[in-house]
């Protein structure tokens, strides 16, 4: 039987687009997939989707990710975290609880993380005993989050460092029909790092992370190429923001975020209409 998968990219506050897409899916009880893979904010969005918690991700992004307890440049300047992803996860679970039975009896979900020793991507299946650790690790932006999540014998940083759009992983897992929810318009291409010497200096204690950062743009653009020119036995369906999408990685304006959410919701509805009509 042909496996179907959904991949959700990260992108910090740009994840508001995917939250709208997935809320549109939930309204129609649309979950035709055999497994899911999320990266960073995309993993957080998938938790809400698979737990069938409409508007949870929207609320977390607009009421909590905009809070200075999460994003705080002054704290960062004093040696603390620019973004406190552990606080965000723990506080959001208290404020917006999820149905664990529904989440863990749903389709398998994997989150991409980056091993700080090897610099390579690992893909951890979400389990009740590792949920908090995996979500902290996949969203642990290098430099911006100074703690290093360690569990299951490894230490990790943000999954987007090694594999921002894990379509090739989904293909290796047997998926032959993949829906990809992107955070940028499909025309986007990641630019190579301008100051490699600075990256090497910043990650001097973890040289393989520095190497991954150096080739991140190459890997990202190769994933986009795979999406645009998939193998002959693979169908890829792309849901991406429009060219004029205005939400950026660190957009904190709630009106802009709400607009981005509605754009995502419309994109999700259009995707389902196209599926149902056979187009």
Distance of CA 65 to the CA centre of its chain: 15
Of 84, 158, 183, 212, which residue is the catalytic one?
Answer: 158
Q: What's the CA gap between 175 and 182, in Å, rounded?
A: 18
Task: Count CB-CB contacts under 10 A for residue 261.
Answer: 23
Of 12, 19, 23, 40, which residue is the catalytic one?
Answer: 40
Q: Assess whether 158 carries a catalytic annotation.
A: yes
Q: Assess whether 40 carries a catalytic annotation.
A: yes
Q: What's the CA gap between 26 and 95, in Å, rounded?
A: 20
Long-range pairs for 248-253: beta carbons < 8 A, 24 or more residues apart: 248/13, 248/14, 249/11, 249/12, 249/13, 249/14, 250/12, 250/13, 250/71, 251/13, 251/14, 252/13, 252/66, 252/71
- Which residues lie closer than 8 Å to 149 by C-beta, 6 or more apart? 133, 136, 137, 140, 155, 156, 157
Q: What are 38's strand-pairing partners?
A: 8, 111
Q: What's the CA gap between 239 and 271, in Å, rounded?
A: 7
Q: What's the CA gap between 252 and 135, in Å, rounded?
A: 21
Helix axis angle, 254-277 relative to 16-27, nearest 10°? 40
Question: Mind telling me the catalytic residues?
Answer: 40, 158
């Amino acid at each position: 039987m042909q496996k179907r998968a959904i991949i959700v990219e990260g992108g910090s506050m740009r994840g508001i687009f995917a939250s709208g897409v997935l809320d549109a899916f939930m309204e129609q009880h649309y979950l035709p997939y055999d497994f899911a893979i999320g990266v960073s904010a995309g993993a957080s969005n998938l938790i809400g989707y698979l737990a069938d918690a409409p508007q949870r991700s929207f609320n977390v992004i607009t009421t909590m990710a905009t809070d200075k307890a999460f994003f705080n440049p002054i704290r960062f300047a004093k040696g603390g975290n620019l973004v406190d992803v552990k606080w965000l996860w723990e506080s959001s679970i208290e404020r917006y609880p999820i149905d664990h039975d529904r989440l863990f009896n749903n389709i398998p979900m994997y989150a991409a993380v980056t091993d700080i020793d090897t610099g390579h991507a690992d893909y951890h299946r979400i389990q009740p005993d590792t949920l908090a650790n995996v979500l902290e690790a996949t969203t642990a932006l290098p430099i911006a989050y100074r703690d290093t999540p360690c569990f299951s014998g490894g230490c990790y940083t943000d999954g987007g460092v090694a594999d921002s759009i894990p379509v090739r992983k989904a293909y290796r897992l047997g998926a032959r029909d993949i829906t990809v929810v992107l955070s940028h318009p499909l025309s986007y291409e990641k630019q190579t790092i301008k100051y490699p010497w600075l990256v090497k200096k910043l990650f001097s204690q973890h040289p393989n992370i520095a190497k991954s950062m150096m080739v991140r743009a190459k890997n990202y653009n190769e994933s986009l190429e795979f999406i645009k020119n998939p193998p002959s036995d693979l169908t890829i369906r792309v849901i991406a923001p429009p060219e004029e999408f205005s939400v950026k990685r660190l957009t904190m304006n709630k009106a802009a975020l709400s607009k981005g959410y509605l754009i995502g919701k419309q994109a999700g509805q259009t995707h389902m209409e196209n599926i149902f009509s056979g187009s």
